[in-house]
Amino acid sequence: MIDDAAVLVRTYFETGTLPGLPQGHFIGGHYAAGSDGEMLESFDPGSARAFASFSAGKGEDVFRAVEAAEKGLAVWRDTTPAERCRILNRAAILIRERAGYLSVLEALDSGKTLDEARGDVRSCARLFEYYAGAADKLEGRSIPLGPGLSCWTEREPVGVTAQIIPWNYPTSTFARGVAPALAAGCAVVAKPAETTPFTALVLAGWLAEAGVPAGVVNVVTGLGADAGAALVRHPAIAHITFTGSVRTGVDVMQVAAPNVTRLTLELGGKSPLVALADSDVDKVVDGALWAIFSNAGQICSAGSRLVIDRKIHAEVLEKLIGKARALRLGHGLKGPDVGALNSQAHLERVHAHVQAARRRGLSILTGGKPATDEQTGTGWFFEPTIIDGLPCDDPAVQEEIFGPVLAVQIVDGEEEAVAVANGTEFGLVAGIYTGDISKALRLARAIDAGQITINDYWAGGVEVPFGGNRKSGFGREKGLEGIEAYARTKAITIRH
Ligand code: NAD
């Protein structure tokens, strides 16, 4: 396999595709053609051209994958934790050794920049390494019941888990669910998004190379309405980890209910970056810029609202607009600052949000239009956009746009900042900028979100638990909490 990213990028621009792309689903330890042979195309968002095709999985493919996973589970749950730990560590090493290939593929499939994809691949390797270290530390406890009784708990794998993956972070979201599931002794059937099927398929093959037994990790590609729906409905699925939109998350909950299937829901967000009057203005500007324009704003935890004190509003906005205008858009493999949106349909959705804001007479300070790659005149790009002075009830504040569109809300003082920060139905992340540690800690307590960062919007790592409150979902991934969903507690009591 060629792993040199520069060689792969050249190859892609010469041939219009990448070598070594997997064919079919990954079921029972090998790549297998889809049951009805139907294929879908995968597009390069930076050029709006198809670069490969993949199987359109159906219920039958899902049944085969779940059956394989049940067999895999029987082997994996009895593999010693120490051995699971060694295998997951080998997987992390393989991912690092082949990071060039995975990064180029991820950039191509998703539209993100190669630098962003490299970061995601580093997180992916780190997640396998992190949960490798947890595999042999899933300990129970002993419970004192008095004379004649001994009681203790054990942690056992929940069973076969379904991983439903979105298109914005395909590689790291795969690892975020699959690594802890494997560490806990579970088997997996993963369904990547229909626009980003390839990295999950590649990773499943590499996990097998690292020593994960056949059937323990399976990947079925295809549409959410076909393969995804069949997977979450399957009665042998013990836990569903769903990352995606609120609308689909609600559907998944309803489908899971009759089987009483356990759920982790990682849904949307409309996260605030709160900048108080005593903040370091340059830090706020840089923080806000990358909180919203990283990954072209397609991040559930993007800082898509800037909640800013009136006293620093003018200075921050002047600098922020200058920086936003200077960002270079372009094909992700050509080293731009900001890559493409993932699909034409998504670009149209983002554009429609901004057009509606324009019709409402809102102040669009910069951006606001679709764009293309400068060299080729193609691709699905959207200009970095800032909308100023928004009232709390405006749709641009309340609805997740999931693109490079920042909604600015002006506040007077700490109390109003908290009320405005909490003024949506989401609760995923909040960034707080202030020079006063007491205020920072007060706001950290008062703001309803699963994660709070202070004076660095993206502070954190795979060690830090991540997940939402309210309509951003429930359950936590990453950190040691991330393994909880996959290891249930069994209590054993003896009279003696
Ligand atoms: P989506 O809900 O349309 O799709 C997500 C996944 O669900 C895809 O794999 C899709 O094929 C599958 N799916 C669709 N319908 C299904 C069904 N009926 N049954 C089972 N699976 C089905 O979301 P999207 O547009 O791909 O992703 C963007 C959304 O994801 C945004 O709202 C974003 O905030 C959210 N997201 C959340 C997190 C998080 O960690 N909280 C991370 C990334 C993305």
Substitution candidate for ligand 1 out of 245, 428, 472, 481 with most atoms within 8 A of CB: 245
- Domain 272-461: CATH superfamily is Aldehyde Dehydrogenase; Chain A, domain 2 (3.40.309.10)
Q: Shortest CA distance to 421 belongs to which of 317, 309, 296, 320?
A: 309
Helix axes 170-183, 198-210, angle to 10 degrees: 30
pLDDT at 3: 73
Q: What pLDDT sits at residue 1? A: 67
Domain residue ranges in the chain: 5-267+474-491, 272-461
So what's the pLDDT on residue 243?
98
Probe target for ligand 1 pocket from 61, 300, 424, with the most ligand atoms within 8 Å of CB: 300
Measured from the Cα of 229, ligand 1's closest atom is 19
What pLDDT is recorded for position 126?
Answer: 98
Distance 164 CA to ligand 1 centre (A): 7
Positions of the chain with pLDDT under 70: 1
CA dihedral over 317, 319, 325, 331, signed as positive or negative: negative
Q: Is 268 in the pocket of ligand 1 (CB under 6 A)?
A: yes
Q: Report d(CA 392, CA 266) in Å as an integer.
A: 24
3-state DSSP call for residue 343? coil
For ligand 1, whether the C-beta of 161 sits within 6 Å is no
DSSP-derived 3-state class of residue 339: coil
Q: State the amino acid at position 271 in one-letter form.
A: S
Whether the CB of 265 sits within 6 Å of ligand 1: no
- Catalytic annotation on 266? yes
- Residues 231-246 have pLDDT tens digits of 999 999 999 999 999 9
Cα-to-centroid distance, 103 and ligand 1 (Å): 21
Q: The tokens 């139907």 sit on which residue?
A: 38
Q: What distance in angstroms lies between residue 478's CA and the mean position of ligand 1's atoms? A: 18
Structure tokens at 479: 């950190």
User: In this structure, how many other beta carbons lie within 10 angstroms of the beta carbon of residue 377?
Assistant: 7
Residue 416 tokens, joined: 């109003």
Q: Which fold has domain 5-267+474-491?
A: Aldehyde Dehydrogenase; Chain A, domain 1 (3.40.605)
Residue pair 300/292 in contact (Cβ under 8 Å)? The answer is no
Residue 213, ligand 1, Cβ within 6 A: no
Q: What are 435-445's pLDDT values in tens digits?
A: 999 999 999 99
pLDDT at position 453, please? 98
Q: Is 269 in the pocket of ligand 1 (CB under 6 A)?
A: yes
Residue by residue, DSSP assigns 46-72 as TTTEEEEEEE---HHHHHHHHHHHHHH
The pTM for the full model equals 0.97
Ligand 1 touching residue 380 (CB < 6 A): no
Cβ–ligand 1 distance for 451 under 6 Å, the answer: no
How would you classify the pairing of strands 405-411 and 385-388?
A: parallel
User: Going by C-beta distance under 8 Å and a sequence separation of 6 or more, which residues neighbour residue 230?
Assistant: 58, 59, 62, 63
pLDDT in tens, 449-483: 999 999 999 999 999 999 999 999 999 999 999 99
| Dist. CA 166 → ligand 1 center (Å) | 5
Å from CA of 147 to ligand 1 middle: 52
**Which of 67, 106, 129, 266 is labelled catalytic?**
266
pLDDT of residue 304: 98
Q: Are 381 and 113 in contact (CB under 8 A)?
A: no
Strands (E), 292-384: 305-309, 363-366, 370-371, 381-382
